[in-house]
Amino acid sequence: MGVFFDRIYPIYPIVDRQSFFQLHESNRVPWILLHALCSVSATFCPAHILYRAGFDSRQSARWTFYSKAKALFNTGYETNKIVLLQVCVSLSFWGGGPNDTWNFYSWIGMGVTVAETTGCHRSTMMKSIRLQDRSLLKRLWWVLVIRDASSAALIGRPFKVNLDHCDAESPAVTDFENPVDQSASELTRHSILYQIQATKLTLILRRIITARFQPQTQIPIDPNSLRQMLSEWRDQLPSDLAWSGHVSEHVDIFAATLSIIYHHHLIMTYLRSNSVPPTQDGSLGGITDLNEAEQAMNQSAQHIALVACSVVTRSDLLLAPHEIFHGVFVAAVVFYIQTKSSNPMISQLGVPGLTNCRMVFQASRETWDPSPWFTQLFDKGLFAPNPPQLQETSNQTESLGTSLNDMENLGCDDTTLNGMIPSGFEDMWQNHASLGTIFDGDPMFASFVAMNTDTNGRSGISWFDH
């Protein structure tokens, strides 16, 4: 439990600290909650603590606690809705497989169902309970909203949370158990501010996904307006969490995480866009055959890779929210496209960035379940020969998307368990390219979905089989 409160509680405050300690001292913590919290703690725990506890690997420790918590959940062992909500959020850190009934996406969906049953999504319901419980439920609800939005954006699935039916108040400083004043530690102060700012960024991400990718968007929002939302958010950041364009200044894990999420959102904003203003950080040094949208995405990808790499080199990866890995993946895709460009200058620019992203995936392979698959995907892709380029008309300029017409050139012809992941992993979802439909129609990402079609012309990746 020390690991949970030292490492996880500051980024996912899903329990009431005071009440939990009272239950723990009297040995009355619900058995299912104890195993669920141990499961997520094993994900963020330093390896030497796991070995000292008798586990031979992080995966073994995670599976031991996850399987026990899941078994108790399946038997209906616990009926307390708040406990069940805490369990669902905790178990959503187990990736599972796309063919599994229970994976991170389904645990989030179950958490949303439980949360709506308790009335977390309605302000009127929250007013009838005591202040301490109200603050806990607000924190639980918004952690769930953050997890839902980031996971849905990663795999291209619909949001489980329908905010049109919600009027829950956004988290405030008073909803956290420690004050944000001079008496609070720097970690506590930054943790609380991070939760509030991450919630605001999540609401912007939902606007981006709805405006740019949902097929039945009523009122589309142009990229300039979306960029303006992000700029306004950044302008109001507290000084404790603000950052500049210099990666060396990212000494705080919360500021580093927010900067990665911010640039992830910028990349999502610019997809399918032909004319947007460049980002604030860096320059591509006069490469004139890239349009403004591509330059903006490239600059954001560079920022993400460098900051994530610095998190790894500072040994802060086990302190970071998992949302940073979503940014690293999107950045890696941008870099991969660059490496397959027929323009040698663009191609060479993509290699160092992709190498940094691969290093992050390698470092997180035991803690973020998609990492082993992404590592192997980009390892094979980087050293595969470039596909033949389509003939272009004389008035066309090269874009990053035209070089990705056939992912078979990646060499990923074996997406079975034995072919894609090391022994010891059982049907983890990194066997499958989990992008769903969010990138359909975009030349930068569509080929990921088309990889390994079967004899019927369907994707060989079962996550996409709806």
CA atoms within 13 A on the CB side of 115: 35
Structure tokens at 57: 């690997």
Query: What is the rounded distance in angstroms from the CA atom of residue 453 to the CA atom of residue 460?
Result: 5
Give per-residue burial for 154-185: e unless 16+ CB within 10 Å, then b. bbbbebbbeeeeeebeebeeebbbbebeeeee
Q: Is residue 40 pLDDT above 50, yes or no?
A: yes
**Beta carbons within 10 angstroms of residue 101's beta carbon:** 7
**Residue-wise pLDDT tens digits, 47-103:** 999 999 999 999 999 999 999 999 999 999 899 999 999 999 999 999 876 677 888
Structure tokens at 175: 């909803």
Neighbouring-strand partners of residue 459: 453
Q: Is residue 295 pLDDT above 50, yes or no?
A: yes
**Residue-wise pLDDT tens digits, 26-35:** 999 999 999 9
Query: What is the rounded distance in angstroms from the CA atom of residue 420 to the CA atom of residue 460?
Result: 13
**Residue-wise pLDDT tens digits, 205-217:** 999 998 888 776 6
DSSP reduced 3-state for 453: strand
* pLDDT at position 454: 35
Neighbouring-strand partners of residue 453: 459
Q: Is residue 244 pLDDT above 50, yes or no?
A: yes
- Global confidence as pTM: 0.80
* pLDDT at position 83: 96
Lowest mean pLDDT among 68-82, 217-231, 284-298: 284-298
CA 119: distance to chain centroid? 26
Q: Is residue 294 pLDDT above 90, yes or no?
A: no
Structure tokens at 271: 């997809």
Query: What is the rounded distance in angstroms from the CA atom of residue 420 to the CA atom of residue 436?
Result: 19
CB-based contact 11:23 (threshold 8 Å): no
Tokens 């950044």 found at: 234
Mean pLDDT over the full length of the chain? 77
**Residue-wise pLDDT tens digits, 165-207:** 988 888 889 888 765 555 568 888 899 999 999 999 999 999 9
Q: Is residue 225 pLDDT above 60, yes or no?
A: yes
CB-based contact 118:136 (threshold 8 Å): no
* pLDDT at position 32: 96
Lowest mean pLDDT among 33-42, 245-254, 256-265: 245-254
